[in-house]
Structure 1
Amino acid sequence: MSSSPDTQAQAQVQELRHRLQSLLDAAHANERKLDRFDALERRLIAVSSMEELVNLLLVDCRADFGLDAAELWLVDVDDELRRSLPTLPMAKAPRLLDGHGPLRELFGAARTTRLIGPGPDAGLLPAAFEADAGVRSAALLPLIRQGLLIGGLHLGSRDPERYDAASGTKFLDRLAAIAAIAIESMLNRERLRRAGMTDGLTGVHNRRYFDHRSLIEFSQAVRHRYPLACLFLDIDHFKAINDGHGHPVGDEVLRQVGGLILRSLRTGDLAARYGGEEFVVLLPRTDLAGAREVAERIRHMVQEAPFITPEGGTVGATLSAGLAMLPPGATSFADLLAAADRALYEAKRAGRNRTVAACDEADINAATAAAS
């Protein structure tokens, strides 16, 4: 029995209402999504530190958009980020890449946003996320600045239909562009900050920064009663290197010695070029034995290193080290610095290429007095 025209009309009206409601729901959902993206973009533009930026992309973004995983890959060929990020208290750290290879595998020559779900490209998911994330679909966003691929932002979901390959990527493309701008801005700010506190030749901190930071380390050590060691390091016969091989070779020796010192230290230790061929190192929470071990490690590395000259040849060098420990009840950091400087003088007087601690210096002076 066929339905009446009125019944058919009512069914059509119901269908139209259902379609309209679906369109309205989709519009409201898109509006809410747009609002979230807009809020995220405003926060990205306003970030004031790399720590805030990373936490925003990897923690806040994941919570705001109901994601199951978020990862940030950044190219760090010159170790700029490695020098700054380890000291930051971040809930989740980015993956730092030594080259562009992993990014090329994900984005290919097109370097466009990729939506990955179950299908032929599903093999890219384990490569982009930690194995235990359980990601079934993802949006892989290339971060591009000045035509260079500087990283990738990866958003993942356990819902296999969350990122449908047929969906549009307009919002995601815009997010990637804003994130890339924010990352470049933070990197430039970090470069300027480091330029103001870093010795341009050696890459270690400069004297100005050391004078500021040393007072903070001194007050912390006194307040919390933990050991603080100070090393003075001086390249032996450096004038002979300059006179015999030229100042460009001397500069190269300084640069490479600075690199060896940095490689020998922990996060939280402080190294600075104090002047000329002299370096100073502060080792918080380090006892005498530990500080002597660090000084000897640096000394042996310098002694065994073939320093490469600008012409491709090699030259040898050694250094002497003076070591002092912050005494109980200390009231002045200058006393610690002076004690390490005196110990360095004793290391020079005793024949160079050795480590002398302030306590050793007292023994040397006592022995010298007894013999005279």
Structure 2
Amino acid sequence: MQNMDKKSLESDNIELKRALRLTAKKIEHNETILKRFFDVELRLLACNKLSDLLDLLLNHFKETFRLSAVSVFLFDPEQIALDLLDEIPATDRSRIRLEPDQRLLRQLYPDHRLKAGEIDQNIRNIIFPDNPYILSVAMLPLIRQNCLIGSLHFGAQDIHRYTVDYRYDYLAHLSSVISVCIENCVNHENLQRLSIIDMLTGAHNRRAFDIEIVREITRSDRTHEPLSCLFIDLDFFKKVNDTYGHQTGDRVLRTIGQLLKQQLRKTDLVARFGGEEFSILLPGCAKEQAASVAENIRQKIATQIYRSVEGTPFRITTSLGYSTYLPDQTQCAKNQKKQASLLLHSSDEALYEAKRLGRNRLCYKACAKPSPSSSITELITN
């Protein structure tokens, strides 16, 4: 009898030790998961750009949580998010869907609740159209102020990875954090964007141009590539306002702002310099290339038919001046602001020469080299 009790006690002891080991492993596993989520939250909260945040969700999450697929939908009625995603690679863009209205999001989340488990084929075709091997998913509604602003989807080829029987409180918490971060990124970038955009034409404003020209001069010195600056002035634009009214004048400026952006590369910068003047930076463009770009713009604007508010058709021409900065590889230390001012001044002088010669033409002026005694103020006022 005593032997039986002893064996039973030893068996219970072994079972208890095994249970303790399993519990310790579960605790260690849970601590690892919590630490991973804590690290992820810190990275999410550190994001200021929507493109960086989406890269974190689509790529870092997939690797960190060993997922087979990740995709995200965003509610974007005003195409604000669309304008902020230029830096997203094509491979990531295929996993991002921007929705102009909330119909699809409401279909996915009629009760605004997280979903997990085996995936319906129709749902899989919507959230993972390029991955037919996803068998279980976690679908996280992204909600701010009781409004669906998006949807995040984790997919696994393991049918048991996500099940309806398990509570995913940590995913619900993560969903809330991601929603806040998306809203913060969009607001932060949109505010930053509004501060550098001319609201009438959609081109950059003078402040953005002044900052960017110094950056491009610095980049030109580093890469030893030329930088061309182009000035555009609408000929007799005052007559348009006097004849057809300021509303028509604004319409012309908007049209030309869009036309300029359509004609140029993404690496070029178009800015409304002031009034009816536009300025363009052409990185990597030498004199001959800049002349070709300028002439193409002159012809496009001259052949465009504009209409007044009442519908009266008319045309307008432009005068263009340009200059090209050629980095001097023999000089080590430079004053980029001074050189930017010289490039700007040379382009402006070329523009005035084009206007003096009769308008509707382009002129070139070589970019001067800064003298040791010259100042930015002198260059602008002379």
Give yes or no for TM over 0.5: yes
User: Structure 1: any 5+ residue segments left out of the alignment?
Assistant: 360-372
Shift of 1:283: 0.7
Shift of 1:253: 2.2
Alignment of 1:41-56 (within 5 A): 41-56=41-56
Shift of 1:231: 1.0
**In 2 relative to 1, CA 265–76 (structure 1 residues): closer, same or farther, beyond 3 Å?**
farther
The aligned counterpart of 2:209 is: 210
The aligned counterpart of 2:191 is: 192
The aligned counterpart of 1:115 is: 116
The answer as to 2:352 corresponding to 1:345 is yes
The aligned counterpart of 2:375 is: none
Q: 1:247 corresponds to which letter in structure 2?
A: H
* In structure 2, C-alpha distance between the alignment counterparts of 1:34 and 1:329, rounded to whole Å: 55
User: Structure 2: any 5+ residue segments left out of the alignment?
Assistant: 367-382
Does structure 2 conserve the Cα–Cα contact (< 8 Å) formed by 1:106 and 1:124? no
* In structure 2, C-alpha distance between the alignment counterparts of 1:169 and 1:299, rounded to whole Å: 61
The answer as to 2:100 corresponding to 1:99 is yes
3-state SS of the aligned residue for 2:291?
Answer: helix
Shift of 1:200: 2.9
The aligned counterpart of 2:342 is: 335
* In structure 2, C-alpha distance between the alignment counterparts of 1:42 and 1:168, rounded to whole Å: 23
Does structure 2 conserve the Cα–Cα contact (< 8 Å) formed by 1:137 and 1:156? yes
Alignment of 1:312-323 (within 5 A): 316-323=315-322
Shift of 1:264: 2.6
The answer as to 2:152 corresponding to 1:145 is no
3-state SS of the aligned residue for 2:195?
Answer: helix
* In structure 2, C-alpha distance between the alignment counterparts of 1:81 and 1:312, rounded to whole Å: 34
The answer as to 2:76 corresponding to 1:69 is no
3-state SS of the aligned residue for 1:345?
Answer: helix
* In structure 2, C-alpha distance between the alignment counterparts of 1:80 and 1:146, rounded to whole Å: 19
The aligned counterpart of 1:286 is: 285
Alignment of 1:291-310 (within 5 A): 291-305=290-304, 307=306
**In 2 relative to 1, CA 306–170 (structure 1 residues): closer, same or farther, beyond 3 Å?**
farther
User: TM-score, normalised on structure 1?
Assistant: 0.77
Does structure 2 conserve the Cα–Cα contact (< 8 Å) formed by 1:202 and 1:258? yes
The answer as to 2:333 corresponding to 1:326 is no
* In structure 2, C-alpha distance between the alignment counterparts of 1:165 and 1:151, rounded to whole Å: 22
**In 2 relative to 1, CA 197–112 (structure 1 residues): closer, same or farther, beyond 3 Å?**
same
Shift of 1:153: 1.9
* In structure 2, C-alpha distance between the alignment counterparts of 1:280 and 1:264, rounded to whole Å: 14
* In structure 1, C-alpha distance between the alignment counterparts of 2:308 and 2:174, rounded to whole Å: 46
The aligned counterpart of 2:37 is: 37
Cα root mean square deviation, aligned:
3.9
3-state SS of the aligned residue for 1:197?
Answer: coil
Q: Deviations over 1:296-316 (max 9, x none)?
A: 443444345455666787664
**% identical aligned pairs:** 35
Shift of 1:281: 0.4
Quick check: 55-64 or 309-318, which moved more?
A: 309-318
3-state SS of the aligned residue for 1:202?
Answer: coil
The aligned counterpart of 2:171 is: 172
Q: 1:333 corresponds to which letter in structure 2?
A: A
3-state SS of the aligned residue for 1:141?
Answer: strand
Does structure 1 conserve the Cα–Cα contact (< 8 Å) formed by 2:51 and 2:84? no
How many positions carry a matched residue from both structures?
A: 354
3-state SS of the aligned residue for 1:320?
Answer: strand
The aligned counterpart of 2:248 is: 249
3-state SS of the aligned residue for 1:342?
Answer: helix
Shift of 1:269: 1.5
